[in-house]
Structure 1
Amino acid sequence: MTKGSVRFDNVTKRFGAVVALKPLSLDIAPGTLVTLLGPSGCGKTTTLRLIAGLEAPTDGRILIGGEDVTHLSATYRAVSMVFQSYALFPHMTVAENVAYGLTVKRVPRAEARERAETGLEMVGLKGFGERLPSELSGGQQQRVAVARAIVLEPEVLLLDEPLSNLDAKLRRQVREEIRQIQQTLGLTAVYVTHDQEEAMAVSDRIIVMKNAEIAQEGTPGDLYDRPNSAFIADFIGDANLIDVEVTASGKETEIELLDHRLRVPLSGVSSGPAKMVLRPHQLRLSREPGPVTLPAEVGYAAYLGNSVQYTLNTPAGQVFAIMPPTANPFRQGDNLHLGFDKEDIRLVPA
């Protein structure tokens, strides 16, 4: 294990009778940004707090940089955390806020000031040191919080829902800046969010959690293209989950969808009921039937500028489709034919 690595060795956490984290083993490689993603109550924030030393595990071991820190308090761990609430001192200047952790560690005043200015320059706030937090926008305050964390030169940077207080456009900007800083400095970072788009935009690897354990982990592409369950397919991006029957499996898989019998290029699928996964952008709408199409009625149409979103009523259930805008978009009540390519089909257990 090298500097910046994080390892959980069969770690559990209980609060009385409540199991907040089931036995968890994971490895985070140095210099990577790994996101803990999942709905509220899934265990992601508990996992982050265990790395930070803000909670102690009930069982198991935690190692940072190869050192066993299981019983080491937060003060003595080589980690820094960026909080959801920014947690800036309103009576201190921006520079004093950034230098605060350094002064607590008794770094000489001149060195702390210099490192604070360097940190502010890294996050694009050079020249803002004498301002108060109240004189900054929400995005600028979040950058100050990031600067305060990175000047401590941590082995691991922890980010707890860092963008949740920002509007959508600003979230995109700040998440790009955080990712660039992480890559430039080669930091190991653990990022917690419930926003799947945010996770896919910043992560080398995503760990999706559900019910206090890992549901699936992998690169953003792995999770989007190869979900292992209906939960993952639906949670990572929009997905249509359609009931099918797997009737034969070998090098290819045969499925039955209403009155269609399709052979899809998938292997190792168990026979029986399954869910067919189709992403909204993989669907086609036409007024003419094709080789593999389902009848569909437009239940709702929404023009969003760069796309048109359709909710469709089909014999297989309600389907969501995203199409590029056209001069003559389909309208509510139109009867159409819904098509797709067999190569785009993914199957998950029913």
Structure 2
Amino acid sequence: MKEAAMKGSVRFENVTKTFGDVVALKPLSLDIAPGTLVTLLGPSGCGKTTTLRLIAGLESASTGRILIGGEDVTHLSATYRRVSMVFQSYALFPHMTVLENVGYGLSVKGLPRAEIRDRAEAGLETVGLKGFGARLPSELSGGQQQRVAVARAIVLEPEVLLLDEPLSNLDAKLRRHVREEIRQIQQRLGLTAVYVTHDQEEAMAVSDRIIVMRNAEIAQEGSPHDLYDRPANGFIADFIGDANLIEVSVLNSADSTDIALGNRRLTLPLRGASQGPARLVLRPHHLRLAAEPAPDRIPAEVTSAAWLGNSVQYLLSSEMGTLFAITDPRAQAFRRGDTVHLTFDPADLRLVPA
């Protein structure tokens, strides 16, 4: 029973990776529960792809242990790990049919032809490409090719499915469609999946849990909601969704927190903040713009206005600095040079260290 519960789990115990004098991964410990989709998110060079390649066995750990399904695989080559990877480039063989591409890994294992064909056809049906087996990859769209790559990975019945920037070659609309399909397949099959991306929206949309990496280590991890609503620092606040980061001073904190915002005093429904300098996190969609002044409103000048169909985005110059605001397109519109008056709900604000 314990072994079954651990199947598909991934565990890092103080794993590091160096390339000569370059530290690609600082001591990293993490646990990925079976059947979950966990995203490694972060800017280029943060260590997320190195972490994925360590799970796959494409890189070897410099120190520490890696366990998959409770088994120590630290020194096990990629061939003998129960993992499959979906690459950014699809990596399909152009001279092979779709069915042959999907069955390629099975043929390498030496399975009977009839079994390879049956499992490959079942894989294509799983990803919604039943009847496409006789086509060549060049006869498919980018989204269809990516689904072929997913089918090729899942027919190997891996304990862990690894996805390395799988949607980066697709246009924005197709990315949304394919990411939903990948998430549905992962949930339907109960697969453990580790997903690498630098796209925050993509990570928020598909993940049970997100591990945000920065400078070769974990900056914060948690559910998408936790990271968005309770960022640990300014980097997380700005990286997970847009944020205005405003310099403030914490005056005192008990059941609520009093802060100095320029010449203004504001009480926030937050507890436990340390006195001294801090940064206020104000999300763009929490800013409300009005034409008329009022005692609780902060004047600002519109320096840029962009209508995007489903929203209007503003850059504003105010006593709090330059602010970014997103409003409903049905709300009152303002133009560059207009004076507006800003307000927000203190309950929507968060504090992070200075």
Instruction: Tell me if both proteins adopt one fold, taking TM over 0.5 as the criterion.
Output: yes
Q: How does 1:210-289 map to 2 (within 5 A)?
A: 210-289=214-293
1:10 aligned residue (14, 23, 37):
14
RMSD: 0.9
The SS at the match of 2:133 is coil
8 Å CA contact 1:84, 1:163 repeated in 2 = yes
Give the TM-score of the pair, scaled to structure 2: 0.98
User: Deviation per CA, 1:274-311, whole angstroms, max 9, x where unpaired?
Assistant: 11001111110012234532111000111111211111
- Relative to structure 1, the CA distance from residue 310 to residue 117 in structure 2 (aligned partners, 3 Å threshold; closer, same or farther) is same
1:24 aligned to which of 25, 28, 31:
28
> Which residue, 207, 210, 220 being the options, matches 1:206?
210
Amino acid at match of 1:46: T
Per the alignment, residue 163 of structure 1 pairs with 167
Write out per-residue CA displacement over residues 196-248 of structure 1, whole angstroms, 9 at most, x where no aligned residue.
00000000000000000000000000000000000000000011111111111
- Which residue matches 1:181? 185
- Within the alignment, does 1:325 sit opposite 2:333 as a pair? no
For 1:75, the equivalent position in structure 2 comes to 79
Q: Distance in 2 between matches of 1:54 and 1:180?
A: 27
Measure, in 2, the Cα distance between the counterparts of 1:214 and 1:270: 24
User: 1:315 Cα shift?
Assistant: 1.1
Q: Deviations over 1:56-79 (max 9, x none)?
A: 000000000000000000000000
Of 67-76 and 300-309, the range deviating more from structure 2 = 300-309
Partner of 2:156: 152
Letter in 1 for 2:323: V
Q: 1:290 to 1:108 in 2, by over 3 A?
A: farther
Deviations 1:256-275 (A, max 9, x none): 00121111011111111111
Equivalent positions of 1:300-319 (< 5 A) are: 300-319=304-323
Deviation >3 Å, runs of 4+: none
**After superposition, what is the alpha-carbon deviation per residue over 1:138-178, rounded to whole angstroms, capped at 9, x for unaligned?**
11100000000000000000000000000000000000000
Structure 1 residue identity aligned to 2:158: P
Alignment gaps of 5+ in structure 2: none
280-289 or 113-122, which moves further after superposition? Answer: 280-289
- Unaligned 5+ runs, structure 1: none
TM-score, normalising length: structure 1: 0.99
CA distance in 1, matches of 2:205, 2:65: 31
| SS of aligned partner of 1:268 | coil
**8 Å contact from structure 1 (residues 292, 340) kept in 2:** no
Aligned match of 1:62: 66
Residue 86 in structure 1 maps to residue 90 in structure 2: yes
**Equivalent residue of 2:227, what SS?**
helix
Q: CA deviation at 1:36?
A: 0.1
Percent identical among aligned pairs is: 78
Which of 38, 41, 45 is 1:37 aligned to? 41
SS in 1 for 2:202: helix
Structure-to-structure mapping, 1:287-302, within 5 angstroms: 287-302=291-306
* Mapping 1:135-146, distance limit 5 Å: 135-146=139-150
The alignment of Structure 1 onto Structure 2 pairs a total of residues equal to: 350
Letter in 2 for 1:348: V
